[in-house]
Structure 1
Amino acid sequence: MNDDEKDDLARLLSEHIRRQNPDCQWVHLYPESHSRNQAYVENVKAIQEIVISAGYKCTVGSPELADFDDLHGLSGPLVLNKTESIDDVLLVDGKQPDMILLNNDLSGGILPGISEMNVTPNPSMGWHLRRKSEHFEALEYYTNQMASLLDIDPWHLMADWFVSEDKCLDEDSCRIRLASEIDAFIGKIQSKYEALGINRKPVVFLKNDRGTYGLGILVLSEGKELLSLSNRKMKKLMYSKSGSKVENFLIQEGVPTAMRFNEHTVEPVVYLVDGQAASWFYRMNKKKSDQDNLNSPSSVFANRTDVDEILTARARNWHELVAELSMLAMGRELQLRSQNPLDGSELS
């Protein structure tokens, strides 16, 4: 992030906090427990810096990190504050903060000590309840409206997708059924390609409908590839951070990237605050094709200013539009979940 982006992020965060809690003076940042991941720690340090720049006191810590005084980031240590849950209230250095800012995906459920506190984002958007397919359903609602306003095919704003439910992939019969579904889906995409004069074979991304880690993402060009998976790839596909059994899979059309820079395949990543795109960086991977998952150990990251402006400028408005539509979709997810608090799986 450059200084201008930091200023924009701080301004948007301040507006968000004031709207949530006008009297807030102290924000406590509740992180994941990745004590050895220096890149993650650096990310938390950056968030803390932005909160402080927005004009708030900002502490960091969790009961799970109680044994650590600090964590080591790429640029130095992140000081942790003593954080404990007493009678379902989170206390930091013995006092209660005005607001909890979650940097934790809640895969394992609601965190102790936050249920009765002012928390943002809303804990009901955690991955203990949420599904990727819920987001796609909500996103379609806004994508169709925007496509109508722009007089374009919604397909230009959102990839096709479907959910395959109750697939216990440790059984051959389940794999065979899923492979058949994938072939039918790829055939549908191929027909779309041919109608638009796109001369290439489509791929799909297969992923767990829950969770955020991205370990279990497979890129497939035909269903039979699923039938010959190695044990290692099968374990990754079935991995769930929370330890819950993976049964539902999201199958998503792979969208080739047209962006290349210095022999790297490139895709944009955007940070949004309070629903607005505010900061950008680019994931680049020299070992992956334009149809691959670029999120791998061979990826590198570049600031917006490090990448050719001609490359980024022509597509940035479209990327910003898609990102902000996703923020609207998250709001719709939350709205629909509040109407069905005991069942977050049906948002249509």
Structure 2
Amino acid sequence: MVPHLITALTGPINELEQRVLESMPAIERWFRLEWMEHTPPFYSSVDLRNAGYKLAPVDTNLFPGGFNHLTPDMLPLAVQAAMAAIEKICPEAKNLLLVPENDIRNSFYLSNLATLVRIFSQAGLNVRLGSLDPTVTGPTELSLADGSALTLEPLLRTRGRVGLKGFDPCTVLLNNALSAGVPRSIEHLHEQYLLPPLHAGWPSRRKSQHFKAYEEVAKKFSKLLGMDSWLINPMFIPLQSADFSAGQGLEALQTQVDAVLSKTRRKYKEYGIQEKPFVVIKPDAGTYGAGVLTVRDAKELPELMQRSAWGRGPDGASAHQIVVQEGVVTHERVHDAVAEPVVYMMDRYVVGGFYRVHAERGVDENLHAPGASFVPLAFSQASQLPRPGEKPGVSAPNRFYMYGVIARLGMLAASYELEVTDPEAEVYA
């Protein structure tokens, strides 16, 4: 099943699709050259929004969950990509320690862990789960919905290395975004590979840094294709040092909202887009779609923030660093419910994806919320390879290829971002 796109059969995105397909050899060569200079994140997922007139990434996750939503047909791609990634990092790797989030009560997240274990086991590694949670003091069995089980064990730090009792891994793979901070047990590891690196976690990572890197990538790519980078890039402005709990920063936030809305209106006028622009305000750090606010008029801000208690994180702390981002509607539907594509990658390869679907959310709202469901994307089968020459806007394989291209731009931006923010780098960009 292919979700339908509620948009005209002619327009900027269909023109972009045609240009992407016509430029496929140049695009793939361009990516190849970029990967000669930059190291891709070990794994990542990118949330996309397709408005019909614009296709842009709105979030890039460097600790992706949701591998359980990939179809069995997609898993061979993931296994091959895992093999390629491990061979580059630690060819002699035998043991892999997978470190999950501390909150493991979600059955979907447990299924995600089981899928990751399966992928890396089939890639030729002994995989075990080690927890950063201090309440896990011994082997703990976790029951899955399908009747199988996983075993979670407490992490042990010995002579500068981290592992489990009787298990010394070459590679430690974090599936934990470190939102609660970086534990000392995984700092300064001796002759062990920690993936992703610690500075990819939310204690130090900032969305504004990522979107700054993405802006650079989008401009390079757009120059290659001879197109306007706005078609694939959501404008944004970061706001620092706000403290809404103390009544500080509201006026500055309204100014930034007005600025992004004005720039968006000019672009809409240029392209003849009959939509009312909006912005999305989100914390500069954080995950799982928390703290996202949709605003169409800066004058609405005081009431919206008061009504939603916006500006406070899940722990009650005030959000001091904020991103004001151009809103991108999604005009895709699955069973008449709003949908957005999410593309999964490992190393430099697209391994699959799904549509995040939410029947109770609007085209301008965050879909990463309770009540969302998931429909797989058809990236995996040979029959789904791009089909040059077909009419733009009607071929699912061509649309999926385009999604994979834009998602890889997000992944490339993440590699730029991690280089710039690497605390051990000698030169900062």
What is the TM-score normalised by the length of structure 1?
0.90
How many pairs are equivalent?
341
Moved more, 56-65 or 23-32: 56-65
Give runs of aligned pairs for residues 194-209 of structure 1, distance below 5 A: 194-209=269-284
Deviations 1:91-134 (A, max 9, x none): 31233212101101122333333331221122221111110011
Aligned to 1:248: 321
Deviations 1:199-252 (A, max 9, x none): 1101111000012132200011111222013656225x32066x8652110011
Give runs of aligned pairs for residues 33-52 of structure 1, distance below 5 A: 33-52=102-121
Q: Distance in 2 between matches of 1:265 and 1:311?
A: 20
Aligned to 2:414: 330
**Mapped contact 2:95–2:171 kept (Cα < 8 A):** yes
Aligned to 1:70: 141
Query: What is the one-letter code of the residue matched to 2:299?
Result: K
Shift of 1:75: 2.5
1:281–1:133 CA distance, 2 compared to 1 (3 A)? same
**Mapped contact 1:69–1:79 kept (Cα < 8 A):** yes
1:292–1:83 CA distance, 2 compared to 1 (3 A)? same
Deviations 1:281-316 (A, max 9, x none): 11111222222111122221112259xx95743422
Q: Distance in 2 between matches of 1:176 and 1:67?
A: 52
Query: What is the one-letter code of the residue matched to 2:234?
Result: A
Aligned to 2:293: 218
Residue 83 (str. 1) matches residue 155 (str. 2): yes
User: Higher RCO, 1 or 2 (CA under 8 Å, sep at least 6)?
Assistant: 2
CA RMSD, aligned part only?
Answer: 2.4
Q: Percent identity?
A: 28
Q: Distance in 2 between matches of 1:208 and 1:230?
A: 13
- Report the 3-state secondary structure (helix = DSSP H, G, I; strand = E; otherwise coil) of the residue aligned with 1:290: coil
1:230–1:251 CA distance, 2 compared to 1 (3 A)? closer
Aligned to 1:104: 176
Aligned to 2:88: 19
Q: Distance in 2 between matches of 1:136 and 1:341?
A: 22
Shift of 1:39: 1.2
Give runs of aligned pairs for residues 253-272 of structure 1, distance below 5 A: 253-272=326-345
Q: Distance in 1 between matches of 2:90 and 2:140?
A: 29
Residue 321 (str. 1) matches residue 405 (str. 2): yes
Shift of 1:341: 4.2
Shift of 1:47: 0.5
1:284–1:334 CA distance, 2 compared to 1 (3 A)? same
Moved more, 219-228 or 112-121: 112-121
Aligned to 2:58: none
Unaligned runs of 5+ in 2: 1-69, 385-393
Query: What is the one-letter code of the residue matched to 2:351?
Result: A
Unaligned runs of 5+ in 1: none
Shift of 1:2: 3.0
Aligned to 1:287: 360
Aligned to 1:93: 165
Give runs of aligned pairs for residues 121-270 of structure 1, distance below 5 A: 121-229=196-304, 231=306, 233-235=308-310, 237-239=311-313, 245-270=318-343
**Mapped contact 2:343–2:353 kept (Cα < 8 A):** yes
Q: Distance in 2 between matches of 1:63 and 1:213?
A: 19
1:35–1:67 CA distance, 2 compared to 1 (3 A)? farther
- Report the 3-state secondary structure (helix = DSSP H, G, I; strand = E; otherwise coil) of the residue aligned with 1:152: coil
What is the TM-score normalised by the length of structure 2?
0.74
**Mapped contact 1:208–1:238 kept (Cα < 8 A):** no
**Mapped contact 2:242–2:320 kept (Cα < 8 A):** yes
Q: Distance in 2 between matches of 1:165 and 1:203?
A: 21
**Mapped contact 1:266–1:283 kept (Cα < 8 A):** yes
1:196–1:334 CA distance, 2 compared to 1 (3 A)? same
